[in-house]
Amino acid sequence: MELVLSIAIGVMTACGIWLILRPRTYQVIIGLSLLSYAVNLFIFGVGGVKSNEPPLLGDGVSVSRLADPVPQALVLTAIVIGFATTALFLVVLLASRGLTGSDHVDGRSDHR
């Protein structure tokens, strides 16, 4: 379980970093999305990987087996903020495309 999670985070981070270094805006935004998924999984992972455990104390729940609720709350916030900023970046990307007629991150087209 831990191994699968770490490999997933690692692969997504590697792809994300490669993509944000590419010259096209679309690649950059996909790279940023992949990176944010990786980071979200990472936040989730720091609470300890547990399955089928309750995040709240109740009857018959021992403290040692509790799933840490804080990273879950953090990851929710991070997802929401990530959505908002990605949407905003998309708008800027489209504006840049409209103004420069190119999807290069520096606004210059290397074909023409």
Partner 1 sequence: MIAWSQHLITLPILIPLITGAGLLFIPDRQRLSKAMVSLAATITLALVSLLLIELSRESNFDGVYPLGNWGAPFGIVLVLDRLSALMVALTGILALPVIIFSLARWHSAGAHFHSLYQFLLMGLNGAFLTGDLFNLFVFFEVMLTASYGLLLHGSGPLRVKAGMHYIAVNLAAALLFLVGVSLVYGTTGTLTMADLAERIPTLEPDRRMLMEAGAAVLGVAFLIKAGMWPLCFWLPSAYSVAVAPVAAIFTLMSKVGVYILLRLTMLLFSEGPSAGFGSEVLLYGGLATLAFGTIGVVASQALARIGAYSVLVSSGTLLAVIGLNNTAATSGALLYLLSSTLTLGAFFMLVELVERGQDAGASILAVTMEFYGEADDDVPDEIQGATMPATLAMLGICFAACAVLLSGLPPLSGFVAKFVMLSALIGTGSIGVHPSGPALLLVALVILGGLATLIALSRAGIRTFWSSIEGTVPPVLVMEIVPIMLILALTAALTIRAGPALDFMDAAVHAIANPSIYSEAVERAAPQPPWRDKTLQGSGE
Which residues in this chain contact partner 1 in the complex, by CB under 8 A? 20, 25, 28, 32, 35-36, 39, 42-43, 46-47, 70-71, 74, 77-78, 81, 84-86, 88-89, 92-93, 95-96, 99-100, 105-107
Report the nearest approach of partner 1 to the CB of residue 64 (Å).
14
The smaller minimum CB distance to partner 1, of residues 60 and 87, is found at 87
Cα–Cα distance between 60 and 54 in angstroms, integer? 11
Provide the minimum distance between the beta carbon of 27 and partner 1 in the complex, in angstroms, as a whole number.
11
